Structure 1
Amino acid sequence: MNTDFRDYDELTIRAVPSSAALSREYQETVKKITFADYEKLPYADSGRYLKKLSLKLNKREYEQIRVIKLMLTPEKGWVGYVTEERAFREITEQGGAVPTRIIDLDDNIGIVGMAMEPEGNQVVYSAAVFDVSDLDIIKELRLDEHKDIPIRYANLQGFRLDGGRGIQHITDENFLDMYPSYTQDGKYLIFCSNRLRPGMMDILRTSADGRGGITNIYTDTRGARAVYPSQSTDGTIAFAIYPKDWRKPGEVQIWTIGGSNHFPTQVALGIQPKISPDGTHIAYIGLDGNLWVAGVDGRGATQLTSKAQFILSQFKKSLRDVELAQFKEYEKQGTLLRHYHPYSFPSWSPDGKHILYTSMEGVDPTGRPNDNIYIMSVDGRNQQQLTTNGSVDRYPMMSPDQEYVYFMSNRGLKWAIWRIRAPRGIN
């Protein structure tokens, strides 16, 4: 770089990695230099009028890990798309607490929903497998290509928390079985699937061990997709409906069926509904991206968080280059909340007094908002941040004795299920 200091009082010199592969391992170095600093620099070998400045690229504390995320689109249904998420090498929390790794997850799958058996013996999740024979293909894709990755299938799998029997395959075949949830007696799993209508999603039920066949619980006769089912003790099921012609997150509806409500009933607008164990409340993500809770009939809707737009603005400030261009494109399309989730994946404590959820309110060591696990009382008070690692933490679940919180994380550069102790006073 050649420059003339007579034109500037101070220069900012930025050294960046020379390739996308190196940028995932090394971070840019920035140095401000004044004319006085310039005078002290040694001359370059090529001549006495050139000075030499050496900048060292520091190795990142984290890696930008390529992942395939699943998204429901109006045009193509469920698709996979490639993005990057930060994963820190360190597995401990910022305060020094060390979580327990429960089980590692396969690199070539996408996790689509997770649930814990009411007795706490097993965790079930949906594992989506993609039509990608070589993971190196994913690493070489440009993020701005927006290339869809075909989903081969998504089946329900489970594992026992005592370590027995390894991974259990609960459903199979080339269907999309997603977002499993246990019935409160632990005997059945309800989930959404395209088994009955290709390209659509219905609410189905199967026994928790995968035996005994699959039963249809709800099919929308208007051509809509039903997703995110969960069931309470009295049999009420809450779920989200994506109407036939939906285009933006604000058009997604929350419905209930069963229990004392014999007919399908719309109760709110939003996504990711989770009904409380006793069937009196539904926690969900509202149109504004914040966490809400409402009565099971939709009355008394209460906003529990208010920082969704602020979080997105702070996240935008942390982006550069391709990531920033992606954000601006989604912003222009009005689909930010389809790709970025300031709050997501609410779940309930077994006693129904607390809501666990994922939030981007916290920041990683570089100052970027990132997914951490939080908990609050059902009235919105006593909010606590439970994880602070800097990596991505999602799908929080509390054990039946309310002693532990389980979640999925990419800390340590590997997707896995982890466990931490629940806050004191919860149980």
Structure 2
Amino acid sequence: MNAYRNLMRIFTILLFGLLAGCASNNPPVTTPLPSGAPLLLELTEGDNVNVDVSYLFSDPDGDSLTYRATMTDPEVAEVFVFGSELSVSALAAGSATVAITASDPDDLTSTVGMSIQVQRAVTVEVELCQIDRSYSAVSGRPTGSLACNLRVAYRETIENNPTVQTVTRVTDYTADQGQIGGAVVSSDDQIYYWHLEDKTAGQANLWKTPVSGGGRTSVTSGRSLDIDPSVAQRSPYMVFASNRNGRPSSLWLVDQAAGVGLTMATQSLDADYQPSQSPDGAWVAFERWLPNVDRPQIWKLDLTTRFETQLREGLRPRVSADGSQILYNRQNPDTGRFEIWRMNADGGDETVLSSGADHDEIQPSWSPDGNSIVFASNEGRDDMGQPNYDIWALSINEGTRTQLTTNGSYDDEPVWHPDGRIFFRSNRGGVWNLWYLVAENLINRAPELVGRIPAEELNEGQTVQIAISRYFYDPERGSLAYTATSSDATVVTTFVSGGMLTIEGTGAGTETVTAVATDPNGLTASQDIGITVTPAMRGPELVGAIPADFELLSEGDTVTIDVSPYFRDPEGGALAYAARISDTAVASVSVSGSVITIAALEMGSATITITTSNSDGLTAMQTIRVTVQSADRATAQGGSHRAPLHGQRSHGDDQSIPVHVKVWVEP
């Protein structure tokens, strides 16, 4: 009996213990972190990390825990849970909180919040599609051959190189609009470039946009691969490479302004690329790949006769501004690196300008003065120590090299604008676009115009002075010398002293005076000035002297003289006449039309001034001397005594020319 009681007591204790154990199951608890330690995960765009969250929780009963997580802002980061591993993918810059929950077998839970901060990525990878231009790659493949891979681009677009003053984006393509190609600049300040519309189909078209930026205009369209545009200062055409005829690639012409009149310029079955026109548009240098030849060659095409000439081995030729030389690339057979070479336009006198044993120097372009070149090279390193393509400049005469871009992004395809700006392609900011940079004292730039010199009107014999130095500026702040020319000295003559231009009107007509400013290195800028010279206003002219063909007047005599034959208006206008006498006591004078009436009053002498005037108020005059004697003396003498009379005339400049008229009066 006692044994039974003991057994029941033990059973009761065990049962209550079991029940008590079940009733005391506790939820998971969070593990305390070190004092002040934040629960924070700092990431950069594109980062993917795994975090073991089991250390954040513990179960008082020793049960196994399961985990789940939710995000407050799924656009900042994406989270998944695998076992006790929390996987976080940083999507965009911003802040968010992930709620991590631990559950025990009875679904008792505990939750902790983890802050996630995503910073903007310093770099991003951008796809670059390059055209394999070799004949073997494109033969039989009308769409050409594209090789696409990723290139590092820095999110930051600024340029920290102290040599560069500013960097400005010209085009505004976005990441989803495809890749832009290299550009050329026309004389009317339009940028021509190619844009890869469809990399799968190998479709690219040509576009243009103003140098100042703004809207873009399509030049070509279609399913072909239109690339490598070339324009020239005095050429109406744009030359480009295209496979639109189903061949590997040929050169084509199109009106550069209107984008019409497509004409195939090369007819061979070779692969032709990279045309570069001479300044006058008479010929084109281009890159040609021949069948079964591994290295490209540079050829020359006469656009009038369509005659082709092989020049040298090389690729991507660029003709100088004066048409005398050609820049090009050539691959060194020993190092495999691309070098920059120069030759004459006829293929002679080739010289290597720049090379590197451990880097490439590609895509050279001439400076406006022909003394420097700009090119792309992977000689430099980015902030992470990786080689990348930047824009460089080389002074040919001095042999000095200058790195222009150091952003760390992929910069290439440079071209020099006449005003000194350098346009180039870059993926900075994560998108392929065209940019330009302005560098300090990189080259000698030509003088620039400051406004327009206004046209001038002047009369014959008149002079005008113009401070032409106010209308020119030297970018290098050097001293400018000035000259001016006129092609017709019978209309105007010119004289320059310092920065002051004096123009004299020598004859009626219109003429253009050209003012030229020259910098210390011989670069010039000019302006034309329109000059109009009007005929000088001419007054009446004398036609001989008024004769004194009347007798010596006696008191009471009257005489009339028609003076119109002795004056004329050179413009053919009517003249008006007036007369006055120096001594009204001797005689009186009256005028009716052109007739002068003189009435003798008393003995004495006086001077009569006869004045004529035209409609402009310009005058001419003559004077005559009149002597009056008494009537008694005239009768006693029985004759006349003739005394000299004096006349004079006046021009518009008030210079007097004496006219001597003799009237004989008998004593």
TM-score, normalising length: structure 2 = 0.45
Q: Does the C-alpha gap of structure 1 residues 265 and 380 become closer, same or farther in structure 2, counting only changes over 3 Å?
A: farther
**How far did 1:73 drift?**
4.3
Write the distance in 1 (CA, Å) between the matches of 2:129 and 2:383: 24
Match among 370, 389, 399 for residue 407 of structure 2 = 389
C-alpha deviation, 1:266, in angstroms: 1.6
2:373 to 352, 355, 367: 355
Matched, 1:116 2:185: yes
8 Å contact from structure 1 (residues 373, 394) kept in 2: yes
Q: SS at 1:412's partner residue?
A: helix
| Pairwise CA distance, 1:215 | 2.0
For the residues of structure 2 that align with 1:419 and 1:115, how far apart are their CA atoms? 12
Aligned residues: 325
- With over 3 angstroms needed to count, the CA separation of the structure-2 counterparts of 1:58 and 1:363, relative to structure 1, is farther
Give the distance between the partners of 1:67 and 1:204, measured in 2 at CA: 25
**Cα distance, 1:90–1:226 mapped onto 2, change above 3 Å:** same
Query: Which residue is equivalent to 1:190?
Result: 239
1:78-125 CA-to-partner distances (Å, cap 9, x unmatched) read 222221101011212233655112222254433343111124x21010
Q: Deviations over 1:243-302 (max 9, x none)?
A: 0223x3xx2101112289974222111111111121111111112211111111222211
Task: Find the partner of 2:170 among 102, 107, 112.
Answer: 102
Matched, 1:180 2:224: no
How far apart are the structure 2 equivalents of 1:384 and 1:188? 34
Contact 2:355 2:361 in 1 (8 A): no
Please report how far the alpha carbon of residue 360 of structure 1 lies from its aligned counterpart in structure 2 after TM superposition. Answer: 1.0
Which residue number corresponds to residue 255 of structure 1?
A: 299
Q: Which runs of 5+ in 1 are unaligned?
A: 1-21, 29-42, 46-56, 132-148, 312-341
Matches within 5 A, 1:346-425: 346-379=364-397, 381-402=399-420, 404-424=421-441, 425=443
Q: Which of 200, 210, 231 is matched with 1:160 structurally?
A: 210
Structure 2 CA distance for partners of 1:395 and 1:380, relative to 1, 3 Å: farther
2:247 counterpart letter in structure 1:
G
Superposed, 1:132-143 pairs within 5 Å as none
Is the CA contact (8 Å cut-off) linking 2:182 and 2:425 kept in structure 1? no
Closer, same or farther: CA 405–346 of 1 in aligned 2, 3 Å? same
Give the alignment of 1:208-287 within 5 angstroms: 208-220=256-268, 223-234=269-280, 235-246=282-293, 248=294, 251-258=295-302, 263-287=307-331
Q: 2:239 and 2:209 mapped to 1: Cα distance? A: 17
Letter of the structure 2 residue corresponding to residue 271 of structure 1: L
Q: Which residue of 2 aligns with 1:200?
A: 248
Distance 1:426 1:272, change over 3 A: same
**Stretch moving more, 375-384 or 227-236:** 375-384
The question of whether the paired residues in 1 share the 8 Å contact of 2:136 and 2:292 is answered with: no
Q: Is the 8 A contact 2:180 2:432 kept in 1?
A: no
Question: Does the CA contact (< 8 Å) of 1:104 and 1:414 recur in 2?
Answer: no
Question: Is contact 1:26-1:58 (8 Å) kept?
Answer: no
**Richer in helix (by share):** 1
Query: Does structure 2 conserve the Cα–Cα contact (< 8 Å) formed by 1:70 and 1:110?
Result: no
User: TM-score scaled by structure 1?
Assistant: 0.69
Q: Name the CA distance, whole Å, in 2 between partners of 1:366 and 1:125.
A: 31
Alpha-carbon spacing, 1:95–1:375, altered in 2? closer, same or farther (3 Å): closer
| Higher relative contact order (Cα pairs below 8 Å, separated by 6+ residues) | 1
Tell me the CA shift for residue 24 of structure 1: 8.6
Partner Cα distance (1:202, 1:411) in 2: 32
Q: 1:290: which partner in 2?
A: 339
Cα separation, 1, equivalents of 2:161 and 2:370: 28
Q: How far, CA to CA, are the matches of 2:190 and 2:250 in structure 1?
A: 24
Residue 300 (str. 1) matches residue 349 (str. 2): yes
* Larger strand proportion of the pair: 2
